[in-house]
Amino acid sequence: MDFGDLTSKKNIGLEDLCGKTLAVDTYNTLYQFLSIIRGPTGELLKDRTGRVTSHLSGLFYRTVNMVEREIKLVYVFDGEPPVLKEAELKRRVKTKDEAQIKYEEALKKGRIEEAKSYAQMTSRLKDEMVEDSKQLLTLMGIPWIQAPSEGEAQAAFMVSRGDLWSVASQDYDALLFGTPRLVRNLTISGRRKLPKRNAYVEIEPEYIELQNMLTELNISRDQLIDIAILLGTDFNPGGIKGIGPKKALKMIKDSNSLDKIIAKLNFENPEKIIEIRDIFLNPEVSVDYGIEWKDPRSEEIIQFLCHERDFSEERVNNALERMRQGTIKIKTKTTLESFFN
């Protein structure tokens, strides 16, 4: 669902995030990399053995860019999805299958731009890609957390406890899971390609505070969840046909009861409402996690990325030097803050 039309968002620069700690919705981020980091005809980047490397490229260089700017990241990986998410996951697989067929057809006909637009919709995150990502982060000294279920729920939980400053994700779900703060568009590129068009839009990081959003809309978090259910979540794809964000907000505020609304509308399986609310209000999370940033193991990173995955050694070495400088700045600032506090 998209709350973008409901609340004002504050545009911020990466310099505003200097010194901040962010919990990254990793699956969301890796899918972005698999979607946009591709070759001239839309093909994924691969090493000489055919292993996909697009996700590793995005993960490595973006993380380096953030460390260089003294932004500390913690990556949170999804675990077992709730049963109610099964329908949405099946829908996504079907969409990818259909896009794959259209991609191959466009390639055969030489329609390269069309092919590239379909290619972005075919991304699949496989188990070996996830394991490669965890290995790379470990070598880089960047902490990662394995969530028992939804990664955004775990990320929101850690932020709400004060262990991290904000969740970083493109999705608004983290707000439903109760994160006090959400950062979107965590990138230095400054632009994003429009789907199915050879055009780009300028973007910059956005910052949303949950309490400010609720105050602005004059609703509670429970009501925000109910609005999301009307619009459609991962646990009830599609929501109610014909209802957009502004209409959903008005309906919830006027009736003050989602149960009354769905009784009048064609809502499939209304008994699921309680289960969906519970997923957001009482998600499965872990309290057993550690967060520690370590020095990057440069030689092992070179071995993994360059010797095993065919990355440019010169480019990786340059990135590692930038990361080393950023790590020194972070350590110096942390030491000074500890001293004065």
Specify whether 195 is located in the same domain as 237: no
Specify whether 242 is located in the same domain as 169: no
308 domain-assigned: no
186 domain-assigned: yes
What angle do helix axes 210-217 and 221-231 make, rounded to 10 degrees?
A: 80
User: What phi, psi does 2 have (nearest 5°)?
Assistant: -125, 115
Specify whether 141 is located in the same domain as 176: yes
213 domain-assigned: yes
Specify whether 126 is located in the same domain as 199: yes
273 domain-assigned: yes
User: What's the CATH code of the domain at 248?
Assistant: 1.10.150.20
Q: Return the SS3 of 187.
A: coil
Specify whether 109 is located in the same domain as 233: no
Specify whether 169 is located in the same domain as 204: yes
Specify whether 207 is located in the same domain as 84: yes
What one-letter code names the amino acid at 146? Q
Tokens 């990502």 — which residue? 133
User: What's the CATH code of the domain at 41?
Assistant: 3.40.50.1010
169 domain-assigned: yes
Instruction: Round to whole Å and give the CA distance between 60 and 65.
Output: 9
Beta-bridge mates of residue 182: 167, 208
What token pair was written down for 267? 């809502």
Report how many domains make up the chain. 2
CB contact burial 119-155 (16+ within 10 A = b; e otherwise): bbbbbebeeebbebbeebbebbbbbbbbbebbbbbbb
Q: Which of 179, 196, 217 is the last residue of a domain?
A: 217
127 domain-assigned: yes
Q: Is the pTM of this model over 0.85?
A: yes
Specify whether 147 is located in the same domain as 128: yes
How buried is 109 (Cβ within 10 angstroms: 0-12 exposed, 13-18 middle, 19+ buried)?
exposed
For the chain, list residues with pLDDT below 70: 1-2, 4, 188-201, 266-269, 334-341
**Rounded-to-10 torsion of CA 326, 329, 331, 335:** -170
Beta-bridge mates of residue 200: 193
Q: Which of 166, 183, 217 is the last residue of a domain?
A: 217
- Structural domain including 244 reads 219-282
Return the pLDDT at 93: 94
Query: From the centroid of its chain, how far is CA 52?
Result: 20
295 domain-assigned: no
Return the pLDDT at 195: 54
178 domain-assigned: yes
Specify whether 160 is located in the same domain as 227: no
Q: Which of 282, 311, 334 is the last residue of a domain?
A: 282
Specify whether 233 is located in the same domain as 201: no
How buried is 3 (Cβ within 10 angstroms: 0-12 exposed, 13-18 middle, 19+ buried)?
buried
